[in-house]
């Protein structure tokens, strides 16, 4: 499924687009670490076995080849506040509750945003001492980050899990936490959205049906809350998040200086494998490109033994992967 943006809002200068990328990571969820040992197998992902797709793939009777000149970044929203630092262990309580992949096509000078439901059931590595892989279980993708010390190894484990789910390689990652979210939103003076659900049991200041400019704290509540809001599914919450992204792209257009100020103040709340120069270069490429919109796999959410589980539709995942990472061979 795809949502397209108004063409007038998708040309973003480097600093603003950088801010947008960070803001995308604000969608966080539950603060429970889930026991992965009782997870049931995923039944509808194209790469349930963790097998990567080859450079040449036949799909619906047509031969496709992997696109050249594309680059990807995994964006993670981490369930944590304060400075990002190692906990000195091989397991932590920080879920990557927001999972987004940016796919930049340098040939067409466009980029797409893939939103992956944090409850998506797929293979995840469990790490032990020294970040060694102990085994693999099918569990929510959000749990991949809970293995490792909460820094680079946790991010790398999340990259591996998303690669296994999509069947393609991810080039880079960037993770940020909730402290960065509040700081960014407050620095730019808040973000304006229309409240689409009843938040009275969570935050009475968020009035259903009203268009409001939210503070950093309110924004985190608006895009993060699930229990006691609407039908309490991540599918409904994801719809609010996509609307938020659209409003953010629109409102950030004229807030370049404030966006830069906000980014500088979030340095301690971010983990990435990119150097400052390489990150700036990639962001500049993205900002010079045109955004095609947000895509996300269709699927079904179901209550597992304790927690919600999302089962992505195989054809929907394959369609996204083939359209963004592959192209038909000539002739």
> What is the mean predicted confidence (pLDDT) over 191-208?
91
The whole-number pLDDT of residue 3 equals 54
Is 88's pLDDT higher than 80? yes
**Hey, which residues does 127 pair with through a beta bridge?**
133
16-25, 191-200, 264-273: which has the highest mean pLDDT?
Answer: 191-200
Per-residue pLDDT band for 5 (boundaries 50, 70, 90) equals low
String of DSSP letters for 228-261? TSTT--HHHHHHHHHHHHHHHHHHGGG-HHHHHH
Confirm if 269 and 84 have CB atoms less than 8 A apart. yes
pTM (2 d.p.): 0.80
Q: What pLDDT, on the 0 to 100 scale, is given for residue 30?
A: 31
Report d(CA 325, CA 331) in Å as an integer: 19
pLDDT of residue 276: 75
**CA distances (Å), 286 to each of 68, 98, 139, 278, in order?**
16, 20, 32, 12
Q: How big is the chain, counted in residues?
A: 331
299, 34 Cβ separation under 8 angstroms: no
pLDDT of residue 140: 95
Q: Are the C-beta atoms of 325 and 70 separated by less than 8 Å?
A: yes
CA–CA separation, 64 and 41 (whole Å): 29
Segment 35-81, tens digit of pLDDT: 333 333 333 333 444 578 999 999 999 999 999 999 999 999 888 88
According to the per-residue pLDDT averaged within each range, which of 21-35, 197-211, 284-298 is highest? 197-211
Delineate the domains of the chain, giving CATH numbers in brackets.
2-178+269-328 (3.30.420.590)
For residues 221 and 259, the model is more confident at 221
CB within 8 Å of 186: residues ≥ 6 apart: 215, 216
Do residues 125 and 144 lie in contact, with contact meaning Cβ atoms separated by under 8 Å?
A: yes
């Amino acid at each position: 499924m795809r949502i397209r943006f108004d063409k007038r809002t998708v040309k973003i200068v480097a600093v603003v687009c950088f801010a947008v990328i960070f803001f995308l990571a604000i969608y966080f969820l539950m603060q429970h670490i889930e026991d992965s040992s009782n997870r049931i197998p995923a039944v509808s992902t194209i790469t349930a076995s963790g097998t990567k797709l080859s450079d040449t793939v036949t799909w619906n009777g047509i031969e496709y080849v992997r696109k050249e000149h594309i680059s990807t970044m995994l964006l993670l929203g981490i369930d944590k506040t304060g400075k990002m630092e190692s906990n000195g262990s091989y397991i932590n309580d920080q879920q990557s509750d927001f999972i987004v992949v940016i796919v930049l096509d340098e040939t067409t000078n466009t980029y797409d945003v893939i939103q992956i439901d944090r409850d998506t059931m797929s293979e995840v590595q469990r790490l032990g001492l020294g970040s060694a892989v102990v085994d693999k279980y099918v569990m929510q993708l959000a749990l991949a980050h809970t293995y490792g010390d909460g820094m680079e190894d946790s991010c790398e484990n999340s990259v591996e899990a998303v690669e296994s789910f999509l069947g393609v390689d991810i080039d880079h990652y960037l993770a940020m936490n909730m402290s960065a979210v509040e700081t960014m939103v407050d620095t730019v003076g808040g973000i304006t959205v229309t409240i689409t659900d009843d938040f009275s049991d969570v935050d009475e200041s968020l009035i259903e049906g009203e268009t409001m400019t939210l503070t950093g704290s309110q924004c985190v509540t608006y895009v993060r809350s699930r229990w006691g809001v609407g039908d309490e599914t991540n599918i409904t919450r994801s719809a609010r998040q996509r609307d938020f992204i659209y409003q953010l792209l629109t409102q950030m257009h004229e807030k370049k200086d404030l966006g830069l100020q906000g980014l500088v103040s979030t340095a301690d709340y971010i983990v990435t494998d990119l150097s400052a120069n390489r990150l700036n270069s990639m962001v500049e490429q993205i900002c010079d490109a045109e955004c095609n919109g947000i895509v996300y796999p269709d699927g079904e959410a179901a209550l597992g033994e304790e927690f919600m589980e999302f089962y992505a539709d195989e054809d929907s995942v394959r369609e996204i992967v083939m359209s963004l990472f592959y192209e038909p061979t000539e002739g």
